[in-house]
Amino acid sequence: DVLAAALGNHALNLMDARAISALAAAGQDLRLLDARATLSDPSAGRAAFDVSHIPRAVHADLDLQLSDHARRGHGRHPLPDAAAFARTVGGWGIGPAHQVVVYDAGDGSMAAARAWWLLTLLGHQRVAVLDGGLAAWRAAGLPETAATDRPPPLPPYPCSTYAAARIATAVQVQARLGQAPGWLLDARGAERFAGQVEPIDPVAGHVPSAVNRPFPLNLHDGRFRPAAELRAELLDALRGHPPSEAVLMC
């Protein structure tokens, strides 16, 4: 979804740490989601949140709230049911009018981008990612807390269905394998794409015809590079395929 945003299909709004701090100080209707996660230790994100987080943030758990592991055969982190996620969003105190900012530990590549994507799938408009994540917040010398001071819960988010056109299934991908490369971008590291190392998945390598575009290429010093630069590089990676037909995977 970060790649799709750079291509212009869906705007990935980025906010820097000081702008977020100013909104909070001005009493704006701000909601903060801490989406820190560690794939090798599902409890690590919550443990880090309990030690210290941005004031008034709520923890968004990759495995318990941003995924539904009861759905078998849908990958490592299957999407949660839309109605269930709408209840989760309401429980976070988020309604359609709120400005939401999501962060993870650093560059957004873990669960911050996923939480952003899920909220946009529900149709939420005012959602951004903290550019540079908690690392940028700390570098700016901004406050953290271990206190729990979350907003009051709301009813379920009023939209309980996802924008299905923005989700590709494995069957849909398989049906397009005969197309010329460029429509499927794989954001994993080059070594995993090539099958040289595989620390997580049971089978090494990549989907046939995928083009490798490692996520770190989108960043400089943990922040997103200028949109114009990213757009030019990503259009080149698509090899003539229109951005609206791109499928992105990790």
What percent of the chain shows pLDDT beyond 90? 81
> In the prediction, which pLDDT does 75 show?
81
Residues 6+ apart with CB under 8 A from 16: 130, 131, 132, 136
> In the prediction, which pLDDT does 7 show?
42
Q: What is the mean pLDDT of residues 199-211?
A: 92
pLDDT surpassing 70 at residue 208: yes
> In the prediction, which pLDDT does 3 show?
45
Q: What is the mean pLDDT of residues 173-183?
A: 96
> In the prediction, which pLDDT does 6 show?
43
CA 116/CA 100 separation, integer angstroms: 9
> In the prediction, which pLDDT does 71 show?
87
Q: In whole numbers, what is the pLDDT of the chain averaged over residues?
A: 92
Active site residue 159: no
How does pLDDT run across 110-146, given as a tens digit for each residue?
899 999 999 999 999 999 999 999 999 999 999 999 9
pLDDT surpassing 90 at residue 190: yes
CA 127/CA 116 separation, integer angstroms: 7
CB 132 within 8 A of CB 106: yes
Tokens of 215: 């996520």
Tokens of 37: 């996660």
Backbone dihedral angles phi then psi of residue 156, each to the nearest 5 degrees: -55, 145
Instruction: Please provide the DSSP assignment of 125-185 as one string.
Output: -SEEEETTHHHHHHHTT---B----PPPP-SPPS--S--GGG---HHHHHHTTTSPTTSEE
What percent of the chain shows pLDDT beyond 70? 95
> In the prediction, which pLDDT does 11 show?
52
pLDDT surpassing 90 at residue 27: no
How does pLDDT run across 45-87, given as a tens digit for each residue?
999 999 999 999 999 999 999 999 888 888 888 999 999 999 9
The residue among 94 and 7 whose pLDDT is bigger is 94
> In the prediction, which pLDDT does 1 show?
45
Distances (CA, A) of 51 to 39, 54, 133, 177: 19, 11, 16, 46
CB 167 within 8 A of CB 101: no
For tokens 């009493």, the residue is 27
Q: What is the mean pLDDT of residues 152-173?
A: 94
The answer to whether the Cα torsion of 8, 173, 165, 94 is positive or negative is: negative
Q: Residue 117: enclosing H or E segment and its boundaries?
A: helix 112-121
Active-site residue among 142, 154, 211, 250? Answer: 250
Instruction: Using DSSP bridges, classify how beta strands 219-220 and 223-224 pair: parallel, antiparallel or unpaired.
Output: antiparallel
CB 127 within 8 A of CB 113: no
CA 92/CA 33 separation, integer angstroms: 8
